[in-house]
Amino acid sequence: MSSEETAGGESPRRMVLDSEFTMPSFSLTGRVALVTGGGRGLGLGMALALAHAGADIALASRSADELERAAGMIRAIGREVLIVPTDVGDVAAVQKMVNQAAGHYGGLDILVNAAGINFRRPIDTFTEEDWDRIMAVNLKGAFFAAQAARPHMQQRGGGKIINVGSIIFELVVPNIALYAISKGGMRQMTRALSLEYAGDGICVNAIAPGRFWTKMTDAFFSVPELYDSAVSVIPMGRPGTPSDLAGATVLLASAASDYITGQTIFVDGGWLYNGGVKA
C-alpha cells in the first residue's frame, strides 16, 4: 500500500472531480457465492437472486434432497451450482464447506450466512442443550464460515459477507429469547468482522428480515389470528417473500456496495418504525 492509499481502496488525496464519476456494477458475472441455508426459504431466495445477477453458486444445508431441488432452480437460470451438505453447527464441517466451495470454483467472492433455527418457547423451559444448539447454528457457524472465507477472498482482492440477521437486531418479542440472543450476537459479529476485514476489501454487512412466511414461521402464520395480528403492525400490510430480499442481497454482494460495511439493511415492510411492535 503506498502512502497515498488507504485500506480498502485507493485514495488520490484530492477531491475527485465530477467528471471522474464512475458507475459501479451490480453485475455478479464471474463471481462465486456460497450460501448456507440455501436449500429453501430465504437462503434459497438469496441464492436465486445472486444467480440471476450472474454468480455461480455453492449451496449448503443439512437436507440433501432440498439442496438437489434448489440446485435445479439455479441451473434453470443458467448458472453453475455445487451442493455441499453441511451442519453449520460443526466448526470443522464449516471449514470443509468453505474450502470445498472455493476449491471447486477456484475461488470465493461472496458468503451468505443464512442458515438459522428458532425455538419458540418461554425462557424458563430452555435447556443448556437448546442454548448450545441455537448459538452453534445461528452464531458460531456464521463466524467460522467468515473466518474460513477470508483467505479465499484475500486471494481475489476482496469479497462480500452477508449475514442474515433479523428485525430482532433491534427489538424483542416474547418466547424467542435464545433466537434473539443469537441474532444480537450476530449484529456485533457483523460490526467486528467489518472492522478487521476492511483492509482486505472485504465488506461485511447484514440483512435483517422482518416477518417472512417460510417453513420457519409456517406454524405461526398458519393460525389466522396470529397472521392477522402480525400483519396488522406491518405498514406494507403483508409478510415478506423471498423475492423481497433480492434487491438488498444483490446490492450487498456487488461492487455497488464497495464502501458499505458493518451495516444492516432492514427489509421489514416498515415494521421496525411502526411504534407498536405487538405480534
Contacting range for ligand NAP; rule: CB under 6 A; set: 3-11, 55-63, 190-198, 223-231: 55-63
Work out how close the CB of 216 gets to ligand NAP at its nearest, in angstroms, rounded to a whole number.
3
Beta bridge partners of 34: 58, 111
Work out how close the CB of 111 gets to ligand NAP at its nearest, in angstroms, rounded to a whole number.
14
Work out how close the CB of 155 gets to ligand NAP at its nearest, in angstroms, rounded to a whole number.
25
- The strand order across the sheet containing 81-83 reads 81-83, 56-60, 32-36, 110-113, 159-164, 202-209, 264-267
Work out how close the CB of 133 gets to ligand NAP at its nearest, in angstroms, rounded to a whole number.
8
Q: Helices then strands (H, E): number in the chain?
A: 9, 7
φ/ψ of 202, rounded to 5, equals: -100, 120
Beta strands in 21-158 (DSSP E): 32-36, 56-60, 81-83, 110-113
- Our CB check for ligand NAP shows the closer of 198 and 234 to be 234
φ/ψ of 205, rounded to 5, equals: -135, 170
What is the enclosing helix (H) or strand (E) of 205? Answer: strand 202-209
CB 270 within 8 Å of CB 236: yes
**DSSP conformation class of 208:** E
Name, in order, each residue with C-beta under 8 angstroms of 159's C-beta and a sequence gap of 6 or more. 108, 109, 110, 111, 149, 150, 152, 153, 200, 201, 202, 203
At 133, list the grid cell.
444448539
Name the residues annotated as catalytic: 179
Site for ligand NAP in 213-272 (CB under 6 A): 214-217
What is the x/- site pattern for ligand NAP, positions 168-187, by CB under 6 A?
A: --------------------
Can residue 48 be called a binding residue for ligand NAP (CB under 6 A)? no
Amino acid at 14: R
CB 175 within 8 Å of CB 226: no
Can residue 134 be called a binding residue for ligand NAP (CB under 6 A)? no
Can residue 37 be called a binding residue for ligand NAP (CB under 6 A)? yes
Can residue 86 be called a binding residue for ligand NAP (CB under 6 A)? yes
- Our CB check for ligand NAP shows the closer of 166 and 257 to be 166
Can residue 163 be called a binding residue for ligand NAP (CB under 6 A)? no
Work out how close the CB of 149 gets to ligand NAP at its nearest, in angstroms, rounded to a whole number.
16
Binder of ligand NAP out of 66, 109, 170, 244 (CB under 6 A): 66
- State the number of binding residues for ligand NAP (CB under 6 A): 29
- Our CB check for ligand NAP shows the closer of 60 and 102 to be 60
The contact set with ligand NAP (CB under 6 A) reads 36-37, 39-43, 61-63, 66, 86-89, 114-117, 137, 164, 166, 209, 211-212, 214-217
